[in-house]
Structure 1
Amino acid sequence: MAAEQTTTANSRLSRQLGGTEQTWCKAVPGGTGITVSALLFSNPPDFSVITDAVGKLQTAHPILSSQIRHDPATGLFSYVTPATPHLKIQSFDSPSTAEILRQLPNPNSSVSDFHLIVEHELNRNDWRSPNPESHVDSDVFFAGVYALPGDKLAVALRLHTSACDSATAWTLCMELRALLGEEEGIIQRELECETKIAPAMEDCIPEEKLRKPFWARGIDMFGYSMNSLRMSNLNFEDTESPRASNFVTLHMNKEDTHQILNGCKARGIKLSGLLSAAAMMSAYSSKGLLDYQQEKYAVVTLINCRSILDPVLSSNRAGFYHSGILNTHDIRGGEELWELAGRAYTAFADAKNNNKHFTDLADLNFLMSKAIENPGLTPSSSLRTSLISIFEETPVDDHGPCGYGVEDYVVCSSAHGVGPNIAIFNTIRGGELDCICLYPSPLYSRKRMLELIDGMKRILVEAK
Structure 2
Amino acid sequence: MSSKQANTDAQVPDPEVRPVGGTEHSWCRAVPGGTGVTVLALLLSKPPNLALLQNALDNLQVSHPILRSKLHFDSTTNIYSFVTPATPHVQIQPFDLASTAEIIRRLADPSVSPFHLIVEHEMEQNSWRDNAETAVMFASVYDLSGEEWVVVLRLHTGACDRTAAAAVLRELLGLVGGGTGRELGGKSKVNLGVEDCIPSGKTNKPFWARGVDMLGYSLNSFRLANLNFLDVDSPRRSQFLRLQMNLDETNRFLACCKSRGIGVCGALAAAGLIAACASKNLPDDQWEKYAVVTLIDCRPDLEPSFNSHGLGFYHSAILNTHDIRGGEKLWELANRTYMSFVNAKKSSKHFTDMADLNFLMCRAIENPGLTPSSSLRTSLISVFEDPVIDNSTEMHREIGLEDYVGCASAHGVGPSMAIFETIRDGQLNCPCVYPSPLHSREQVQGLVDDMKRILVDASSCEDGES
Tell whether the structures are fold-level matches, with TM greater than 0.5: yes
Give, in angstroms, the shift of residue 402 of structure 1: 3.9
Give, in angstroms, the shift of residue 44 of structure 1: 2.3
Q: Which residue of 2 aligns with 1:25?
A: 28
Q: Which residue of 2 aligns with 1:241?
A: 234
Structure 2: tracts of 5 or more residues without a match? 1-11, 460-466
Change (3 A) 1:267 1:343: same
Counterpart of 1:168, as a letter, is A
CA distance in 1, matches of 2:341, 2:309: 25
Write out aligned runs for 1:449-464 (5 A).
449-464=444-459
- State whether residues 54 and 91 of structure 2, in contact with CA within 8 Å, keep that contact through their aligned partners in structure 1: no
Tell me if 1:203 matches 2:193: no
Change (3 A) 1:204 1:237: same
Counterpart of 1:389, as a letter, is S
Q: In the alignment, which of 63, 67, 91 is matched to residue 60 of structure 1?
A: 63
Q: Which residue of 1 aligns with 2:256?
A: 263
Answer with 253-262 or 65-74: which moved more.
65-74
Q: Which residue of 1 aligns with 2:441?
A: 446
Encode CA deviations 1:301-338: one digit per residue, 9 max, x unaligned: 00001111001112221100000000000001110000
The alignment of Structure 1 onto Structure 2 pairs a total of residues equal to 446
Q: In the alignment, which of 85, 90, 94 is matched to residue 87 of structure 1?
A: 90
Q: Which residue of 1 aligns with 2:80?
A: 77
Write out aligned runs for 1:117-196 (5 A).
117-130=118-131, 136-149=132-145, 151-182=147-178, 188=182, 191-192=184-185, 194-196=187-189
Tell me if 1:232 matches 2:225: yes
4+ runs deviating over 2 angstroms: 9-14, 82-85, 182-185, 191-196, 399-402
- State whether residues 236 and 438 of structure 2, in contact with CA within 8 Å, keep that contact through their aligned partners in structure 1: yes
CA distance in 2, matches of 1:150, 1:248: 26
CA distance in 1, matches of 2:167, 2:150: 18
- State whether residues 246 and 440 of structure 1, in contact with CA within 8 Å, keep that contact through their aligned partners in structure 2: yes
Encode CA deviations 1:48-96: one digit per residue, 9 max, x unaligned: 1221222222222100111111122221111112354411320001111
Give, in angstroms, the shift of residue 171 of structure 1: 1.1
- State whether residues 93 and 146 of structure 1, in contact with CA within 8 Å, keep that contact through their aligned partners in structure 2: yes
Encode CA deviations 1:360-387: one digit per residue, 9 max, x unaligned: 0000000000000000111111000000
- State whether residues 52 and 180 of structure 2, in contact with CA within 8 Å, keep that contact through their aligned partners in structure 1: no
Encode CA deviations 1:135-186: one digit per residue, 9 max, x unaligned: x42111101100012511100000111101011111111211222214868x
Answer with 437-446 or 10-19: which moved more.
10-19
Q: Which residue of 2 aligns with 1:6?
A: none
Secondary structure of 1:207's aligned partner: coil
Give, in angstroms, the shift of residue 256 of structure 1: 0.7
Q: In the alignment, which of 41, 49, 52 is matched to residue 52 of structure 2?
A: 49
- State whether residues 41 and 407 of structure 1, in contact with CA within 8 Å, keep that contact through their aligned partners in structure 2: yes
Counterpart of 2:217, as a letter, is Y
- State whether residues 16 and 189 of structure 2, in contact with CA within 8 Å, keep that contact through their aligned partners in structure 1: no
TM-score between both structures, scaled by the size of structure 2: 0.93
Give, in angstroms, the shift of residue 195 of structure 1: 4.6
Change (3 A) 1:443 1:208: same
